[in-house]
Structure 1
Amino acid sequence: MSDKHLSSQFDAALNMLSTRLLEMGGLVESQISAVLDLLDAFDEAAALRIRDTERQLNRMEVEIDDEINNVIARRQPAARDLRLLMATSKCVTNLERAGDEARKIAKRLHKIHEAGTATAVQVGELRNSGEMALSILHRALDAFARMDVHAAAQIMRDDQAIDTEFRAFVQRLVTQMHAAPFSISSHLDYLFVAKAIERIGDHATNIAEFVIYIVKGRDVRHLPLDRLEEAIQRD
C-alpha cells in the first residue's frame, strides 16, 4: 500500500473523528436549549428526553475515545496530528460533562417543580446566563471546525461575562435569603442551577483552549488573558 494511500486513510480517520465530535456537540447544544426551556415551564416528557440524550452522549464519548485510541495505535501520529487526537479526546470529555450539567439542571428543576417553588426566583437572569453559555459552546464548536484560534481566544475572553453574571446572581440570592429565611431551600436549588450553567460555559471555554493547543502547540490553560494575544500570534 502506497504512502499516499496510507496518508489518505489517516486524513479520512481524522475527519471522521472531527465530524463525530461536532455531531456530539450538536446533541449537547440541543440538550442545553431544551433544559433552558424548562426554566419557564417544566415539562416531564422534555426532562426525560434530556436524560435519554445524556445516555446517548455517554455512549458517544466511549465510542469516539475508542476510535482515537485505535488511530493512535495504528498510525503512531506525531506533532499536530497527535495534538489533534489528544485534544479531540479532551473536547469529547468536556462535551459529555456539559451534557451532564444539563441533565443535573433538569433534575433540579424537576425537584423545584415538585416542591411548588418555581416562582420563588426570577428565572430571566438564569435563562440569559444559559443562553450566553449555549452561544459560547456553539462558537467553540465552530472554532474547532475551522481551527480558528482568534475565535477561540475571543471565547475565552467572553466566558468572563458568564462568571460575572453568576457572581451577581449569587449576591442577589444571598440578599433574598437574608430577607426571607423560609425560602432558603428553594434559593439553594436555583443556586445549583446557576452553578451548573457556569460550568457549561467553562467546558465550552476548555474546548476553545484546545483549539489553540492544536493549532499553535501552546497550552493556554490558566494563561492570563493579557498574555493570550501574544500566545496565539507566536509561531
Structure 2
Amino acid sequence: MDNMNLGKHISGQFNTELENVRNQVLVMGGLVEQQLTDALAAIHDQDLDAARRIVGSDHKVNAMEVAIDEECTRIIAKRQPTASDLRLVMAIIKTIAELERIGDVAERIARMLTDNANKPQPPLVSLESMGRRTIKMLHDVLDAFARMDLDAAIAVYQEDDKVDRDYESVIRELMTYMMEDPRTIPQVLNVLWAARAIERVGDRCQHICEYIIYFVKGKDVRHTKGDEFTNLVNKP
C-alpha cells in the first residue's frame, strides 16, 4: 500500500482488503489488455479461431467486474471509508466499468470478424497502427493505476490526441476506398465501426487517468480540457 501513498490503518485487515481489491483490478486490466491485443491480431491475421475464443471468453471480464463491484460495496458498508480511502474505492468502481467496456470492444471486434468471414476486407494498416497506440495507452494507464502515479496518468491522458489523429486518418483512408469501389460499402462500414470503437478505447483510458488524478489530488478533472485541465492538476 505504501507505493500508493496510502497511510496504514488501525485495522491491518482493512489494508489487506484494499490491497486485494486493487490487485483484482490489475488482473482484470491484464485480461482486458490481452483480449484487445488478441482481437486486433485476429483482424490482422483473419484468424477466425482466435476471434471465436475472444468472443467465448468475454464472460470472464464481466464476472470480474461484478465480483470487484460487490467487494467494493462490502468494503463501503463494513468499513465506511473516508477521504483517500473512499476516493480509492470510488476510483476502482469507475475504473472496472471502463475496463469492462474495453473488453466489450474486443469482443465486438472479434465478432465482426466471425460475422464477415470470407468477405473482402478494406486495407487495415491505419487501423492496426491506431490499435497498437491504444493498447499501449491501456498498458500504460494500468501501470499508472498500479502505482497511482500522477505524472504517468497525465502523460497517458495527453496521448489521446494522437489516437484522435489516427482515427481521422483511418476515416479518410476508408472513405477513399469506399468511393473507389462502392461494392465494398458494407465491409467499410464494419471497419468504420471498429475504428470508432478503438478510438473510444483511448477515451476510456483517459477516463481512468481522471480517476487516478481524482485519487491522488482529490480533484475532479472530468469534462475539463486544455488550460483548465492543466491548472487543476497543477494546483496544490
Normalising by structure 2, we get a TM-score of 0.92
Distance in structure 1 (CA, Å) of the matches to 2:37 and 2:198: 12
- The match for 1:85 is 89
- The match for 2:221 is 220
Percent identity over the alignment?
A: 40
Tell me, yes or no, if the aligned pair for 2:95 and 2:211 is still in contact at 8 Å.
yes
- The match for 1:12 is 16
Tell me, yes or no, if the aligned pair for 2:130 and 2:163 is still in contact at 8 Å.
yes
1:51-200 correspondence runs (5 A): 51-114=55-118, 116-118=119-121, 121-200=122-201
Distance in structure 1 (CA, Å) of the matches to 2:161 and 2:198: 13
Distance in structure 2 (CA, Å) of the matches to 1:226 and 1:158: 16
Distance in structure 2 (CA, Å) of the matches to 1:210 and 1:165: 25
Q: Which deviations, in whole Å up to 9, do the C-alpha atoms of 1:64-84 show, x marking residues without a partner?
A: 000000000001011111011
Q: Which deviations, in whole Å up to 9, do the C-alpha atoms of 1:193-231 show, x marking residues without a partner?
A: 111111111111111110001111111112113333322
Distance in structure 1 (CA, Å) of the matches to 2:78 and 2:113: 46
Residue 50 of structure 1, CA deviation: 0.9
Distance in structure 2 (CA, Å) of the matches to 1:201 and 1:88: 18
Residue 172 of structure 1, CA deviation: 2.2
Distance in structure 2 (CA, Å) of the matches to 1:45 and 1:178: 32
2:212 is the alignment partner of 1:211: yes
Distance in structure 1 (CA, Å) of the matches to 2:57 and 2:162: 28
Distance in structure 2 (CA, Å) of the matches to 1:63 and 1:207: 19
Q: How has the CA–CA distance of structure 1 residues 161 and 5 changed in structure 2, closer, same or farther, with 3 Å as cutoff?
A: closer
Counterpart amino acid of 1:143?
A
Distance in structure 2 (CA, Å) of the matches to 1:10 and 1:46: 41
Number of residue pairs matched by the alignment: 229
2:22 is the alignment partner of 1:22: no
Distance in structure 2 (CA, Å) of the matches to 1:123 and 1:226: 36
Normalising by structure 1, we get a TM-score of 0.93
Tell me, yes or no, if the aligned pair for 1:84 and 1:214 is still in contact at 8 Å.
yes
Q: How has the CA–CA distance of structure 1 residues 159 and 5 changed in structure 2, closer, same or farther, with 3 Å as cutoff?
A: closer
Residue 6 of structure 1, CA deviation: 4.8
Alignment partner of 1:222: what SS?
Answer: coil
Distance in structure 2 (CA, Å) of the matches to 1:158 and 1:5: 36
Residue 132 of structure 1, CA deviation: 0.4
Residue 113 of structure 1, CA deviation: 2.0
- The match for 1:231 is 232
Q: How has the CA–CA distance of structure 1 residues 76 and 40 changed in structure 2, closer, same or farther, with 3 Å as cutoff?
A: same
Q: Which deviations, in whole Å up to 9, do the C-alpha atoms of 1:149-196 show, x marking residues without a partner?
A: 111111111111111111121122222222222211111111011111
Residue 43 of structure 1, CA deviation: 2.2
Tell me, yes or no, if the aligned pair for 1:91 and 1:210 is still in contact at 8 Å.
yes
Counterpart amino acid of 2:19?
N
Distance in structure 1 (CA, Å) of the matches to 2:20 and 2:134: 27
Counterpart amino acid of 1:62?
V
